[in-house]
Amino acid sequence: MSTRLRDVALRHLRALGATVEEGSIRRLTMDIELEGRIEMVTLSLRDDELQCVSSDGRNDGPHVMAALRFIAGAEQREDSAHPRPIPSISGPSLGQAPPSELAEALDDLLTAVARVGVSKAQYAPSVDAALERVVDIAPQPTPPGLGRFIGRLQQEMRSREPVHVARILDGASQVADALRAEAPTRASAQRLSAWFGLPSGSTPDVELLYDRTMIELGREWLSGTERASVERRYLIDIRSGSIYREDRARNATASLGPCPRQLRVGLAEVEAGPSPKRIRILQYEVEPDVPSESWLRIQHVADRNFAHVTEGYRQSVEAHPSLAEPFVLIAPYRIERNGIFKAFDAEGHQLVLHRSERRGAVLAFYDLLAEGVEPSWVAGRLTDTGATLCLTPFAVGTRDQTYRRL
């Protein structure tokens, strides 16, 4: 990054703060769009030094440079549009079409898949047409929950996993029933909210969190519709061990900083819904360098009871069959390395360490195990194969390295 550009931007930021009569400006946040990608850039003054970071985790990338040029006056923008507000935790409300029509479209999708069978559903024109009808009838833009349902269904049809497809369609059937209900129960209202967002004028069912310390353990891009992919970030409260997800669409904002990072959260909202629960962080400070004592705390709160993990997974997918994607942090008692790697707790309960997903993260983890590395903790997403619970690893801590992102 140009030192001169940073110095000029620092002088302008100081001058801007000096014009404020009732206080001083300590931080500026702006949305910067370059080459069709929007990132949120934050410029802050700490100990009279300029700190820069963008929502992609970089402090010297093109979005940061554009923000510095803007503050330094090197760019003159003719438009004076107001910055977009931070998106609410709620999504679009139902209203584009009658709920009964959307329920009928979901029923037609279930029928289309059942008629052609899971093995042929991926390429069946009738299934494609049914999916298109659901998207057309649903609120626009496509709500993230509905988009993720479609992404998961298409992924499982490609994998030809009949049990997983049936489970996801069972969730769609429950949503169709909730759409038809004259007086939804709390559980069905939560399903509708998870899929479509809150109805206009309704009160969100959220839990408020204050003064928490959280660590982001991993992030990934998840498929949805063609325009509704989501970046998901996994955060753990190092005091309670609770795990949350922060979802960011491509053109939306989220909390700042690279992964891993530590967040001192002053205020946050946690939405009732599928596991892991969705969090919206309202007030926070970022520590890019996670202190060693926080990593020790991570190991302390990791789940050591795999029977508890299994039961939590069962409850999650039972409550939200289409959208629950549980993420866990475990501390294995031992790991078995005889072709199929398995983690065991002290009572002998097991978790298979998933290797059917041939992703770089999974392969990197298996390389570590093959080298004889003993993980202190492992974080990852849960799934199942038949009656076997599996963990797809995202990050690991060892005695020699407190955190290793896979």
Q: What is the pLDDT of residue 239?
A: 94
Query: 27-45: buried (b, 16+ CB within 10 Å) or exposed (e) per residue?
Result: ebeebbeeeeebbbbbbbb
Q: Is the dihedral of CA 317, 151, 198, 270 positive or negative?
A: positive
Residue-range domains of the chain with CATH: 3-72 (no CATH), 99-196 (no CATH), 206-290 (2.40.50), 302-405 (2.40.50)
Q: What is the pLDDT of residue 89?
A: 41
**Which pTM was predicted?**
0.73
Q: The tokens of 202 are what?
A: 């309704």
> In whole angstroms, what separates CA 227 from the centre of its chain?
16
Q: What is the pLDDT of residue 242?
A: 96
Between the CA atoms of 143, 146, 149 and 151, what dihedral angle is there, to the nearest 10 degrees? -50
Q: What is the pLDDT of residue 55?
A: 73
Tens place of pLDDT per residue across the chain (406 aa): 456 677 777 777 776 655 445 556 767 888 888 876 777 788 877 666 777 887 776 777 888 888 888 887 744 433 333 333 334 444 444 555 788 899 999 999 999 999 999 989 989 999 999 999 999 998 888 888 999 999 999 999 998 889 999 999 999 999 999 999 988 888 888 899 999 887 766 777 789 999 999 999 988 888 876 566 788 999 999 999 999 999 887 767 788 888 899 999 999 999 989 999 999 999 999 988 899 999 999 999 999 999 999 999 999 999 999 999 999 999 999 988 877 788 999 999 999 887 655 566 777 887 888 888 889 999 999 999 878 899 988 899 988 888 888 7
